[in-house]
């Protein structure tokens, strides 16, 4: 790790003012790892962990999670467990208890890919250094994208929490020099395109202040199913966040989001719309899964993700149709 100058932001405005010349640190669970292996070499680190962004507030627009609330606090919060259980389950499927105790809401959204080539500075990597190549595209790409990749980058977003937030249609609140704005969760992370170095649509000088879970959603039957190489402390090969709202055996609303398959949480709108208005049925869920994966473009080593995703979607939908819980 290179030496850096460490200071604390005193207010949100102070953090905004300094954010374009410094790296902001909150829990630091991904950032410090990156600094240790010289991926990030900031000269200025501004600690925002003492700002007044640590509350969970029940508002008329929904549940507002301050950006500095820890992952553990969100997962354990009674109203989250009651109304958005998929979020608790997704968070608890990620990392370790120690990491969740310090990792923050905002930090979870800002964590970077775990592509092994990105972390190995012996290789070029367009995300780390633009125009230096993408060795994963032709190398070992078992963990990489099957949707939305570009010839510049085939990495996936590593977050579990973000997959659930995308399914819930959460909103990201950010504050910048121009003031405050809200970004629909599905638009917050970007596909790599020609700029894989940019993970999100945050502008220079903008910081996340909160994530809002919508009030007008019936998500009690939400299911988060994560498939990985080992049972704990491992990133997803693929994951599914599925929420069905069923009335009298008819599907009123369906949400299916995949994790571990793209540079952002991957909503499957076509499959969701296909389900709406139809009666609950396992064959229907299989058809929805086939639709969701219809345009997948696997790489040399991750073709297995296509069938694995289909089976996971079918299973998650079955469990959600039965009221939710652990898939």
- DSSP lists the bridge partners of residue 182 as 173
Indicate the residue among 129 and 187 with the shorter CB distance to ligand SF4: 129
Q: Does 227 bind ligand SF4 (CB under 6 A)?
A: no
DSSP-derived pairing of the beta strands 171-176 and 250-259: unpaired
Q: Does 285 bind ligand SF4 (CB under 6 A)?
A: no
Q: Residue 271 CB, nearest distance to ligand SF4 (Å)?
A: 26
Indicate the residue among 296 and 327 with the shorter CB distance to ligand SF4: 296
Question: x/- string (CB under 6 A) for ligand SF4, residues 93-122?
Answer: --------------------x-x-xx----
Q: Six-digit token pair at 160? A: 């579990």
Q: Residue 280 CB, nearest distance to ligand SF4 (Å)?
A: 39
Indicate the residue among 115 and 217 with the shorter CB distance to ligand SF4: 115
C-alpha–C-alpha distance, residues 75 and 253, integer Å: 24
Q: Residue 124 CB, nearest distance to ligand SF4 (Å)?
A: 8
Q: Residue 133 CB, nearest distance to ligand SF4 (Å)?
A: 7
Rg from Cα positions in the chain: 19
Residue with tokens 């009123």: 252
Q: Residue 262 CB, nearest distance to ligand SF4 (Å)?
A: 12
Q: Residue 292 CB, nearest distance to ligand SF4 (Å)?
A: 23
How many residues interact with ligand SF4 (rule CB under 6 A)? 14
The DSSP secondary structure of 116-137, one letter per residue, reads HHHH-TTS--TTTSTTS--HHH
Q: Six-digit token pair at 88? A: 């608790």
Query: CA neighbours within 13 Å on the CB side: how many for 60?
Result: 0
Indicate the residue among 171 and 262 with the shorter CB distance to ligand SF4: 262
Indicate the residue among 154 and 296 with the shorter CB distance to ligand SF4: 154
Q: Residue 54 CB, nearest distance to ligand SF4 (Å)?
A: 32
Residues 128-167 that bind ligand SF4 (CB under 6 A): 134-136, 153-155
Q: Does 200 bind ligand SF4 (CB under 6 A)?
A: no
19, 71, 104, 126: which one binds ligand SF4 (CB under 6 A): 126
Torsion of CA 16, 19, 23, 29, to 10 degrees: 30
Indicate the residue among 27 and 135 with the shorter CB distance to ligand SF4: 135
The separation between the first and the last C-alpha atoms of the chain, rounded to the nearest angstrom, is 41
Indicate the residue among 73 and 157 with the shorter CB distance to ligand SF4: 157
C-alpha–C-alpha distance, residues 183 and 170, integer Å: 9
Given a contact cutoff of 8 angstroms between Cβ atoms, the answer to whether 172 and 109 are in contact is: yes
Q: Six-digit token pair at 220? A: 């009690």
C-alpha–C-alpha distance, residues 301 and 244, integer Å: 32
148, 196, 259, 260: which one binds ligand SF4 (CB under 6 A): 196
Q: Residue 225 CB, nearest distance to ligand SF4 (Å)?
A: 25
Q: Which helix (H) or strand (E) holds 274?
A: helix 269-275
C-alpha–C-alpha distance, residues 31 and 34, integer Å: 5
Greatest CA separation for the chain = 62
Indicate the residue among 153 and 168 with the shorter CB distance to ligand SF4: 153
C-alpha–C-alpha distance, residues 231 and 145, integer Å: 21
Q: Which residues contribute to the site for ligand SF4 (CB under 6 A)?
A: 113, 115, 117-118, 125-127, 134-136, 153-155, 196
């Amino acid at each position: 790790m290179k030496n850096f100058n460490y200071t604390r932001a005193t207010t949100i405005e102070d953090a905004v003012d300094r954010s374009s010349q410094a790296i902001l640190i909150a829990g630091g669970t991904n950032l410090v790892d990156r600094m240790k292996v010289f991926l990030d070499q900031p000269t200025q680190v501004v600690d925002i962990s003492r700002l007044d962004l640590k509350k969970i507030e029940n508002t008329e627009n929904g549940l507002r999670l301050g950006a500095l609330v820890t992952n553990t606090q969100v997962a354990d919060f009674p109203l989250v467990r009651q109304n958005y259980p998929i979020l608790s389950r997704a968070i608890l499927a990620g990392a370790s208890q120690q990491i969740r105790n310090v990792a923050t809401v905002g930090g979870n959204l800002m964590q970077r890919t775990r592509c092994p080539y990105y972390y190995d500075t012996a290789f070029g990597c367009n995300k780390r250094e633009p125009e230096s190549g993408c060795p994963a595209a032709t190398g070992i790409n078992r963990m990489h994208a099957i949707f939305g990749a570009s010839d510049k980058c085939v990495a996936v977003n590593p977050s579990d929490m973000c997959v659930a937030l995308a399914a819930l249609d959460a909103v990201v609140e950010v504050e910048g020099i121009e003031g405050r704005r809200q970004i629909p969760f599905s638009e917050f992370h970007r596909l790599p395109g020609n700029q894989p170095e940019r993970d999100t649509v945050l502008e220079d000088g903008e910081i996340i202040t909160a994530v809002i879970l919508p009030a007008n959603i019936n998500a009690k039957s939400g299911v988060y199913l994560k498939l990985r190489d080992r049972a704990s402390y491992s990133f997803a090969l693929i994951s599914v966040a599925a929420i069905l709202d069923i009335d009298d055996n008819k599907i009123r609303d369906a949400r299916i989001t995949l994790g571990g398959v793209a540079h952002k949480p991957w909503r499957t709108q076509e499959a969701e719309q296909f389900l709406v208005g139809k009666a609950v049925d396992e064959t229907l869920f299989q058809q929805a899964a086939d639709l969701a994966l219809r345009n997948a473009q696997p790489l040399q080593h991750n073709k297995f993700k296509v069938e694995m995703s289909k089976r996971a979607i079918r299973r998650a939908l079955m469990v959600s149709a039965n009221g939710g819980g652990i898939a």
